[in-house]
Structure 1
Amino acid sequence: MHPLSVAVHAADPVTRRGVVAMLADDRVEIVGEAAGPAVVVLAEPAVTGRHVDAVGRMRGAKCVVVTDGFAAADILFAVQNGVVSVLPTAEVSPRRLVSAVLGAADGSVAVLSCELQSALLRTLRGQVLESCGMTLPGMGAREIDAVRLVAEGFRTSEIAAELACSEATVKAMLRAVMTRLGLTSKTHAVAYAFRAGLIS
């Protein structure tokens, strides 16, 4: 098995040497940024959009950020440009860094603080889903209403009357929800909606 190609980007040469030393592992090969690495480790005291944009230009490269200065407002832009993990400098160890790098490459590990996860979810909800009439768990407002009425024991004809649409529309709406979310029945859809906090 070939080692994973990893580039280290750090303006400070001491920091760069430290990161390279931490990545001393048979599964990792340090390469230059021009070599088209699979993963880039970006180690800076504060990471800005300029840093992330530079990584984003390395098409296909995943990025592990090591920093104590990362603005939560930049998380969606960062993720869109290949950032998979953001590790606080003080918490980095060789084992944790190698694990994050290998996990970034195969998609098995993503490390974001609770603050960054919350910021990402808020941004997704506000900028992406709500603009399409969707909720974070993947149901639109009318679909939630239909599932809520199913939970309350309404028959298809009664749901159609409540939502001022045809029975065929109600059936299509419920079928679309189940297909999109991988649910097997209306009961399963109701259980999903309860767990997601969409109905109570």
Structure 2
Amino acid sequence: MTEQIRVLVCDDQLLIRTGLVTIIDAQPDLEVVGECGDGKAAVELAPRVNPDVVVMDVRMPVLDGIEATRRLAGAGVERPVKVLVVTTFNLDEYVYEALRAGASGFLLKDAPPAQLLHGIRTVASGAALLDPEVTRQLVGVYATRIRPVEGSVDDSPLTPRELEVLRLIAEGFSNSEIAGTLVISHETVKTFVSRILTKLALRDRVQAVVYAYRHGLVA
């Protein structure tokens, strides 16, 4: 029997939090090790319960999910925790900031239970959960808020082909779609993605999207 994935649930709405806990705890490979109603409590509780994944709401009292995510998974955190943001995308202006703060992905609160469970397992495995279609929506809404950095594409350590793959990632293409667009194999795409993340010292595809927009690789 494989080791269970430990999950901490953080949402200020008791009804939603209870529902999340019930759905997660019903799975043989998942275990809810704690629950709380604000970001400050999540930051304080995480070191004690040692979760593999924190399911994090964004809008909460005391400390919001963005700052809590930054403290749990942001740059410079000694022992970062994987965070899966679960939010109402159409109403929440701060999803992009949560991803930039270190979240490994996000889901909508009205997503079906199977998608939530898949998301937790995906994030726990070390992969990013960034659905291509939702990526396109996210980028369309928040691209103008991404502050560019100095430098040019000429300074990039990436090869022209790797830059091409990175642009497609930023536009929300899945690996299969990238393979079809560039007429290369799925395994070759995976190799390119791995090289891109390694060369740019990025954790996952979420950070790759942010990098591409900040460096002007996507209009």
Equivalent position of 1:58 in the other structure: 72
Displacement of 1:109:
4.0
Distance in 2 separating the partners of 1:106 and 1:120: 27
Displacement of 1:16:
0.8
Match of residue 111, structure 1, among 84, 107, 130 = 130
Equivalent position of 1:143 in the other structure: none
Displacement of 1:18:
0.3
Contact 2:11 2:60 in 1 (8 A): no
Match of residue 88, structure 1, among 108, 120, 129 = 108
Displacement of 1:40:
0.9
Distance in 1 separating the partners of 2:17 and 2:161: 48
Note if 1:70 corresponds to 2:106.
no
User: What do the CA deviations read for 1:94-152 (whole angstroms, capped 9, x no partner)?
Assistant: 2100111111122334135222134565555x423xx22x2xxxx32xxxxxxxxxxxx
Distance in 2 separating the partners of 1:109 and 1:55: 15
Distance in 1 separating the partners of 2:116 and 2:7: 12
Match of residue 181, structure 1, among 151, 156, 159 = 159
Note if 1:79 corresponds to 2:99.
yes
User: What do the CA deviations read for 1:58-110 (whole angstroms, capped 9, x no partner)?
Assistant: 241222222213215x51x32232222222222x2221001111111223341
Distance in 2 separating the partners of 1:12 and 1:183: 46
What amino acid does structure 1 have at the position aligned with 2:112?
S
User: What do the CA deviations read for 1:142-165 (whole angstroms, capped 9, x no partner)?
Assistant: xxxxxxxxxxxxxxxxxxxxxxxx
User: What do the CA deviations read for 1:9-59 (whole angstroms, capped 9, x no partner)?
Assistant: 011221111011221212211112421312111236x47983211132224
Distance in 2 separating the partners of 1:102 and 1:122: 32
1:62–1:88 Cα change, 3 Å: same
Q: Scaled by the length of structure 2, what TM-score is found?
A: 0.52
1:104–1:118 Cα change, 3 Å: farther
**Greater Cα radius of gyration, structure 1 or 2:** 1
Please give the root-mean-square deviation of Cα atoms over the aligned residues, in Å.
Answer: 3.3
Q: Which has the higher helix share?
A: 1
Aligned residues between the structures: 140
SS at match of 1:86: strand
Distance in 2 separating the partners of 1:47 and 1:29: 23
Report sequence identity in percent.
21
What amino acid does structure 1 have at the position aligned with 2:121?
L
Structure 2, gaps ≥5 residues long: 35-41, 74-79, 168-181, 183-216
Note if 1:101 corresponds to 2:120.
yes
Contact 2:72 2:81 in 1 (8 A): yes
What amino acid does structure 2 have at the position aligned with 1:37?
P
Contact 1:3 1:28 in 2 (8 A): yes
Distance in 2 separating the partners of 1:79 and 1:65: 8
Equivalent position of 1:18 in the other structure: 19
